[in-house]
Chain A
Amino acid sequence: MDGMGKGTVTPLASLFPVEESQKAAKRVQDTIAEKEKELDHLRVFIADNNNLINLVQKLPEELHHDIMVPFGKAAFFPGRLIHTNEFLVLLGEGYYADRTSKQTIEVLRRRGKSLESQVNSLEAIIKDHKAEASFFIATASEAAGGLVEIREDYVEENPSKQDLKSGPLKQDVSGLAGAERETTSVDDKEFARMMARLDELEEEERAAERGNLDDENEGAISDFDEISYQRPSDNNLQNSEDIQRRMALKQTNDIATKFPKEHKYQDDMADHFGSLALQSQVRELSEGKTMAKNLKNSDASEMSTIYPEEKIVHATNTSKAEVQYQASRPSDDSQKASTSSTVGHADHTQRNSRKEDSTSSQVGCQTSEPSFDSRRAFTGSIIEHAENLPKTSGEQNSSSSLVSGSQPSKPVSRFKMQRR
């Protein structure tokens, strides 16, 4: 049992000291005694009342009654009762009423009822007090007897939950560490969402690209606005991650400069995207869109690498990326690049949403890597994970370009078109 050894043993005496419980019991008993005295009083009143009722009934039978009339407390006068049917009844507060025998009896009966209700309430109170006293006495005896109270915590085993909790934490902390992270259920959900969104975006991209590059560019501009807007949010994100990613992006950007102008904006976009990466999912989605576009436009080399993250995404992303990439850059070996890029940018978005395990990303990257074989020139190790800056730094030359290219793939493309 997990509880063993974790419980606490407390002697009852410590919780309810013997003396105190005895004192409490005594106090309650005193109260009970008082109440019982009052109860006796009331009972006497009721008895008197009943006697009086009988007397009042009997009196009118005679015209006169010989009695000893008291005169003060210590003297009597012999006398007679007259007007035996006339009774002066005290109604309270100095008010009296002349009543006949029957009426007096009714008055007395009503008084008796009120007395009885008082008695009942008093009895109930006494009962409660008695219960209290018995409890105290029992506690006192138990405490004196050395009873012990044992408490054990109920530990619920839920490793998945713990992992979930630790996952994001690790990611936040390590940031670029690219530590292996489990994809939490939450991440899975996010991934699913991301995937759905990406699918939509890919579809749009494809349609747009096929239709008109200019249109795409225009779209890119709008995306760019989005991106620029999103940038400020970056501040909220973990600086380390941002910085690292930005650095990665910069590096990629630097590399990107080698590429044709087309990629210029891609780089910018990449920067943006890099920062955006940290942003929320929603943003990611939009980014994803733009990124997808950028990826498409950027060199295949640039793309790909970033891909950190999540495995789950990778699988779908890669497929999506491929589709997207193909649409955007038929010229590229791009399918692979696109896959990698899309993966990257999917990863990017994923990164933003969750800080996923590097392993997953690694896996994703790995899957993307083979696709990039053609681009090996740039990629070298793609590794990806934006979190793994140190790792990627070496590769960044190759990967950064890919990264920059991959991240903004879709949006950049549009933007590029605009710039042109």
Chain B
Amino acid sequence: MDRLRQEKILKFEEFVDQRLKPDLVRAIAERDKVFEQQKIFSDLRRNIENLEKSSVTSLKTLVNIGSEVYLQAEVPDTQHIFVDIGLGFHVEFTWSEALNYITQREERLKRQLEEYTQLIASIKAQIKLVYEGIRELLQLPAEKPFPERTF
């Protein structure tokens, strides 16, 4: 009996380590990417709003041409802005269109984030389940829930 039990425990542990944990890691990585995108777009939105507020028509910037070497550049007309909508496409927007687009984009990103969060949660739950099973096999005492304060 013990032998069987040992084997089962071993299998469970292997499953956790080789399947569930890497899955977890990958899911978390994907979610982080989405976070980044979200940040980018929120920054862009803020900038556009600022531009609109200050009614900037032209601006001078420093453009990084590589290895932190900057060149002065001038933007004569800031009315049109090209936004990356994915798959290598950039669309020329006016400010309000750009803002609109950004809003929609942000929503989409939120939904993606939620999906990833759920995935990660399910993976974590599976890992926990396997651990419980191992514990039962080893007949270790079950973890007590945090004692709740009773008034």
A residues adjacent to B (C-beta < 8 A): 45, 48-49, 51-52, 55-56, 59, 67-84, 86-90, 96, 104, 108, 111
- For the A-B complex with A67-B73, A69-B61, A88-B71 known, give 16 more contacts whose Cβ atoms are closer than 8 Å: A56-B69, A69-B73, A72-B43, A74-B40, A76-B81, A77-B82, A78-B75, A79-B61, A79-B74, A80-B74, A81-B63, A81-B73, A82-B72, A86-B72, A87-B70, A88-B69
B66 interface residue (CB < 8 Å to A): yes
- A89 adjacent to B63 (CB under 8 Å): no
The CA-CA distance from A77 to B74 in the complex, in Å, is 10
- A74 adjacent to B44 (CB under 8 Å): yes
- B98 adjacent to A75 (CB under 8 Å): yes
A145 to chain B, nearest CB (A): 33
- B82 adjacent to A48 (CB under 8 Å): no
B146 to chain A, nearest CB (A): 42
The CA-CA distance from A71 to B78 in the complex, in Å, is 11
A66 to chain B, nearest CB (A): 10
B2 interface residue (CB < 8 Å to A): no
Which single residue of chain B is at the shortest CB-CB distance from A107?
A: B69
Q: Known interface pairs A48-B67, A74-B84, A75-B83. Does A88 touch B74 (Cβ–Cβ under 8 Å)?
A: no
The CA-CA distance from A96 to B43 in the complex, in Å, is 26
What 0/1 pattern do residues 21 to 44 of B give for CB contact below 8 A with A? 000000000000000000011011
Q: Which B94-124 residues sit within 8 Å CB-CB of chain A?
A: 98
The CA-CA distance from A88 to B80 in the complex, in Å, is 27
B41 to chain A, nearest CB (A): 6
- B77 adjacent to A52 (CB under 8 Å): no
- B67 adjacent to A108 (CB under 8 Å): yes
- B81 adjacent to A87 (CB under 8 Å): no
A-B contact pairs, 5 of them (CB 8 A): A55-B66, A56-B69, A74-B83, A77-B75, A90-B69
The CA-CA distance from A81 to B84 in the complex, in Å, is 22
B140 interface residue (CB < 8 Å to A): no
For the complex of A and B, the 4 pairs showing the least CB-CB separation, nearest first, are: A90-B68, A88-B70, A79-B75, A76-B82
B62 interface residue (CB < 8 Å to A): yes
B145 interface residue (CB < 8 Å to A): no
Q: Which residues of B contact A67 (CB under 8 A)?
A: 63, 73
A69 to chain B, nearest CB (A): 5
The CA-CA distance from A301 to B96 in the complex, in Å, is 141
Q: Which of B47, B67, B75 contacts A72 (CB 8 A)?
A: B47
The CA-CA distance from A84 to B74 in the complex, in Å, is 11
The CA-CA distance from A81 to B73 in the complex, in Å, is 4
B142 interface residue (CB < 8 Å to A): no
Which single residue of chain B is at the shortest CB-CB distance from A52?
A: B66
Which single residue of chain B is at the shortest CB-CB distance from A45?
A: B67
The CA-CA distance from A197 to B51 in the complex, in Å, is 117
B76 interface residue (CB < 8 Å to A): yes
- B70 adjacent to A76 (CB under 8 Å): no
Q: Which residues of A contact B80 (CB under 8 A)?
A: 77-78
Q: Which residues of A contact B60 (CB under 8 A)?
A: 82
Which single residue of chain A is at the shortest CB-CB distance from B44?
A: A72
Q: Which residues of B contact A77 (CB under 8 A)?
A: 75, 78, 80-82
Q: Which residues of A contact B90 (CB under 8 A)?
A: 76
Which single residue of chain B is at the shortest CB-CB distance from A90?
A: B68
Q: Which residues of A contact B82 (CB under 8 A)?
A: 68, 75-78
The CA-CA distance from A87 to B68 in the complex, in Å, is 10
A40 to chain B, nearest CB (A): 17
- B72 adjacent to A79 (CB under 8 Å): no
- A52 adjacent to B67 (CB under 8 Å): yes
